[in-house]
Chain A
Amino acid sequence: MLKSLISYLQNANLMIQISAVAIILTLVGIVFALTYFKKWGWLWREWITTVDHKKIGIMYLVCALLMFFRGGVDALLMRTQLAFPNLHFLNAQHYDEIFTTHGTIMILFMAMPFIFAMFNLVVPLQIGARDVAFPFLNAVSFWLFFFGAMLFNLSFVLGGSPDAGWVGYPPLSELPYSPGPGVNYYVLGIQISGIGSIATGINFIVTILKMRAPGMTLMRMPLFTWSVLASCIVIIFAFPALTVALALLGMDRIFGTHFFTMLHGGNPMMYINLFWVWGHPEVYIVILPAYGIFSEVVSTFCRKYIFGYKSMVVSLMMISIISYFVWVHHFFTMGAGPGVNSFFAVASMAVGIPTGVKVFNWLFTMFRGRIRITLPMLWTLAFIPCFAVGGATGIMLAVAPADYQFHNSYFLIAHFHQVLIGGVVYGLLAGMYFWWPKILGFKLNETLGKWAFWFFNLGFYVCFMPQYALGFMGMTRRVYTYPAESGWGTLNFVSTIGAFMMGIGFLFIVAQILYSIRHGERDTTGDPWDGRTLEWSLPSPVPHYNFAQIPVVDDMDAWWKMKQQQKEGIQPQKEPLKPIHMPSPSSLPFFMGLAFFICGFGLVFNQFTIATIGLIGVVICMLWRSLEKDTGYYISVEEIKKNEAAVRGL
C-alpha cells in the first residue's frame, strides 16, 4: 500500500505535489503553534471532548466554511479550464476528479455541516432547552462527519481522488473502469459521515418533540425549529437509501459482488434508483432549514408575526413527505415508461405548490412592514427572485418529455446551482449573519458584508445565466474542453468572470470575519436585532448551561411577547432557580470517529487487517459507552447566580 502511495505521488502532476507539501507544512505549522502557545490542553478539554451543542455547532461551522473554500477552489479551477475553447490548463483526468470532489464536497461536506451548525447553534436555544436530547451522540455525529470528511479529502494526495462524478454512477464507478482507490474513498468517506447524519436527525427530532419549554406547544414553535423537524424527518428516512446504495457499490468493488456490474446479472440502474431515493430528498434536507431561516429573518426585520404561520407549517410538512415521491425525475431518460415518468413528473411539479405558498407568505409578511435592510435581510431579499427563477426552470425540467432535451446539459447545471446557491447558500449565509452575534458575542462588519453580498450575488447571475443558454446551445455537463467552432467560447468566458466575482465575494466574507473578530461591534444586550424568539432573551455569548431558569411560554414569538409585557410592567414567568444537570465531556466520540476512520482507510486499500482493527475499535467504544456510568454533574444555584450576574452585567 505504501509503495503504491509513494509512486502515485511521484507520478502525480505538480499541483497535487504542491498540495501535498502544503498539507504537510500546514499540519506542522498547526502542531508547532499549538505546542508553542501551550494550547493542546485547551483544544482537548474545550473542543475535542466537548458535548456542548454550541461548541459542536461552532466546529461544524468552521468545517463548513473550510470546505466551502475547498469546493470553491475546485469550482474556480473548472471555470478557468472552461474559460476558452481548447484550453489544457487541466487534463481530462484531473478535470474529472475536480468536478467529482466539487460536487461531493459542496453537498455533503459543506451544505450538510452548515445546516448541522445551524441546528446545533439555534434549536436548543429557540425551544428553551439546555442541550440536545443526546449530547454524547451529538458529539459522535460531529466526529463521524469530521473523520468522514478527512478521509474524503485525503484522497487527492493519497492515491487519487474519485473521478466518477459526485453521483458515482456504475458501471463507470465499478472496479474495471475505476481501478484506483478514488471511488473507495468516496464510498467510505460519505458512508462514515452519513451515519453521523442519521444520528443527528434522530437527535434533533427527539430534542424538538421532548425538550420544549413549558407552554411551547407544537403550534407555538418558531418556524426555524419546525423546518429543522421537517428536515430531520427527511434525513432519517432518506439517508438509509444512500447508506445501502454506497454499501452495495462498495461491496461490488471490495468483495466482488454483482449488484451494479455489467456481468452476472447486475443492474447499474438499481444504484441510480437507490441513489436518488436519497438524492432528491437530500435537496430538501438542505433547503428546508434555509426556509426556516428566511422565516425568522423576515419576521424579525419586518417586526411582524409571520404571515400564515399555519400554512407555513403545513407546507413544510408537505414538502418533507412529497420529497420522497419524486426521485425518478433525475433519470427520466432511463425510459421507465409513460406511467412511471408521468407519476414522477406530476409529483415533482406538486412540490412547487407548498413552496409557492411559502414564498407568498414571506412576501405578505414584508408587505407594509418596516423592513430594516441588515445583512441577513439583504440575503433574504436576494433569495426570493433567485429562487423563483430556479424554481421555474425546475418545473421546466420536471416536464418529462422536455427533460429528454435538458438532461445533463448546462441548463440543468444552471438550474440546480440556482436553487442550491440561491436557496441554500443564501439562506445559510443569512442564518450565519443573523445568529453570529448570539453565539460569538459580536456582529459581523456591515460594510465588508455588503461588498461580499454584491460581488457574490451579481457574480452569481453573471456566472449562471449564460449557462442556461449554453445548455440550449448543446453544451453538456462534465466536458473538460470544447472546440472553438462550437460557438460556446464567449458565454463560457462570461460565466468564468462571474465565478471569479463569487470567489471575490467569498474572500470578502473571510475578510469580514477576520476584521470583525477584532473590531466587530460587541453585542452587550443579547438582543442586537430586536428579536422575537427565546434565543434573544439570553446574554451573548450564551452561558454553557443556556437558560439559568427555563422560561414559561404562552404564545408564538415568545420573547417578543415577553418584551411587550415587560413594557407594561409584567415580569415574564420562569421556573424557579434549581441546580442544573449537565452532561460530562467525553473523549469517546473522538476515538469512535478515529476508529471509523481507520476502518474506512483500511477498506479503501483492501487492507482487511487495518479495517478489522478499526472495526474492533468501534465495537470497544460502543461497549465502553454502554458499560460506563455517566451521570453528568450539577451546577449549583450559587454558581449560576454568580455567572448570571457577570454575563448580564448586573
Chain B
Amino acid sequence: MVETTGRPIPDPKSSKHLHGTEEEEKNILGFWIFLSTDLVLFACLFATYLVLRTHTDGGPTTAQLFDIPMFTLETFILLTSSFTCGLAVREMRYNNLRRLLGWLAVTVLLGLIFVGIEASEFLSYSSEGATMQRSAFLSGFFTLVGTHGLHVSLGIVWMISVGIQLLRDRIHPTTARKLFNAGLYWHFLDVVWVMIYTVVYLMGVMK
C-alpha cells in the first residue's frame, strides 16, 4: 500500500478496542473542524485589531511600541517549535517513544520560552504606560496577541498531559491520535502567529 505520512492509522488488531481506528479518524476530523472555527475566532480578533489599529487616542503607536529583535526572536522560537513538534509526531511512526518524548520536551521548552518572552514584552509595555486600558489600539493588540499566547499556554499544558499519557500507555491508537491532534494544534498556532507577525508587527513598524 502507498505510504501516507503523519496520520496514525494503526493496526486495529493490536488495539484493545474493536473499532479503534474508526474512532480515532472521527476525532481527527472533528479536531480539524475545531481548528477551522478557531481560525474564524482569530479572524474576528484580527478584524477588530485592524479596524482599531490607528485609534491610539494620543497614546503610543505601533511604530513607537514594537521592538524588532523581540518579535523576530519570538517568531524564530515558535517556528522552530513547530519543526520539533513535527519531528515528534514523525517519531511516532517509527514507534520510537524515547525520541518522541525528547522532541516533545524540546517543543514544550520552546513554547515556555515563547510565552516567557511574550509575558516580558507585555510587562515592559505596561510599565511604559501602554496598558490595554490606554487606548482602543492597545485593547485590540493585547487581546489579539494575548489570545494567541493563551492558546500557546493551553497547548503546553496539553502536550505535557499527552506526554504523561504516552509514558503511561505507550504508543497506541488513542495516545497516537492525541499526539497527532496536539501537533495539529501547535502548527495551527504557528499559522496564526505568522499572520500576527506580518499584520501586527511588520506592518506596525513599516515606514
Contact = CB atoms under 8 A, between A and B. Distances in A.
Contacts of B165: 626-627
Contact of B48 (A133, A248, A265): A248
B126 interface: no
A264 interface: yes
Interface stretch (A183-191, A266-274, A348-356, A492-500): A266-274
B48 A244 contact: yes
Contact of A258 (B36, B45, B135): B135
A631 B52 contact: no
B135 A202 contact: no
A553 B135 CA distance: 60
B25 A210 contact: yes
Contact of B18 (A211, A261, A581): A581
A261 B45 CA distance: 17
Given A210-B25, A265-B137, A244 B30 contact: no
A203 B136 contact: no
A645 interface: no
B161 A623 contact: yes
Interface string B46-57: 011001100111
B136 A266 contact: yes
Contacts of A240: 37-38, 40-41, 43-44
Contact of B26 (A206, A245, A263): A206
A198 B37 contact: yes
A237 interface: yes
A202 B34 contact: yes
B97 interface: no
B55 to A, nearest CB: 3
Given A258-B135, A626-B165, A627-B161, A267 B51 contact: yes
Interface residues of A, number: 44
Contact of A265 (B22, B34, B38, B52): B52
Contacts, number: 120
Contacts of A627: 161, 164-165
B136 A267 contact: yes
Nearest to B133: A256
A520 to B, nearest CB: 37
Nearest to A205: B33
Contact of A202 (B18, B25, B30, B47): B30
Interface residues of B, number: 45
Given A258-B133, A581-B19, A626 B161 contact: yes
A245 B143 CA distance: 12
A270 B143 contact: no
A570 to B, nearest CB: 30
Contact of B29 (A201, A210, A581): A210
A57 B184 CA distance: 32
Contact of B143 (A198, A248, A265, A267): A248
Interface string B103-145: 0000000000000000000000000000011111101101100
Given A240-B38, A244-B45, A133 B26 contact: yes
A264 B30 contact: no
Interface in A194-225: 198, 201-203, 205-206, 209-211
Interface in B3-22: 16-19, 22
Residue from the set A203, A245, A248, A619 with the largest chain B CB neighbour count within 10 Å: A248
A270 B135 contact: no
A251 B29 contact: no
A267 B137 CA distance: 11
A326 B182 CA distance: 36
B158 to A, nearest CB: 8
Residue from the set A211, A244, A245 with the largest chain B CB neighbour count within 10 Å: A244
A266 B19 CA distance: 53
Contact of A209 (B16, B29, B38): B29
B90 interface: no
Contacts of A315: none
B150 to A, nearest CB: 12
Contacts of B55: 264-267
Given A210-B29, A252-B139, A265-B52, 7 more contacts: A134-B27, A240-B41, A255-B133, A258-B134, A270-B48, A626-B165, A627-B164
Closest CB pairs A-B (n = 3):
A265-B55, A265-B136, A240-B41
